[in-house]
Chain A
Amino acid sequence: KAGVTQTPRYLIKTRGQQVTLSCSPISGHRSVSWYQQTPGQGLQFLFEYFSETQRNKGNFPGRFSGRQFSNSRSEMNVSTLELGDSALYLCASSLVLSAGGEDEQFFGPGTRLTVL
Chain B
Amino acid sequence: AQSVAQPEDQVNVAEGNPLTVKCTYSVSGNPYLFWYVQYPNRGLQFLLKYITGDNLVKGSYGFEAEFNKSQTSFHLKKPSALVSDSALYFCAVRDTFSSGSARQLTFGSGTQLTVLP
Contact = CB atoms under 8 A, between A and B. Distances in A.
A25 to B, nearest CB: 13
B32 A43 contact: no
Given A90-B43, A107-B43, A56 B103 contact: yes
A66 interface: no
A102 B46 contact: no
Contacts, number: 53
Contacts of A92: 43-44
A34 B70 CA distance: 32
Contacts of A45: 104-106
Size band of the A side of the interface? 20 to 34
Contacts of B94: 101
B51 A102 contact: yes
Nearest to B106: A45
A48 interface: yes
- State the majority secondary structure of interface residues on A: strand
A107 B43 CA distance: 6
A58 B49 contact: no
A88 B16 CA distance: 33
Contact of A102 (B32, B36, B43, B110): B32
B45 A107 contact: yes
B100 interface: yes
Contact of B101 (A35, A56, A101, A107): A56
Contacts of B96: 100-101
Nearest to B46: A104
B90 interface: yes
21 contacts: A4-B43, A42-B107, A42-B109, A43-B107, A55-B103, A56-B100, A56-B101, A56-B103, A90-B43, A92-B43, A92-B44, A100-B32, A101-B94, A101-B96, A104-B49, A105-B46, A105-B105, A109-B41, A109-B43, A110-B42, A110-B43
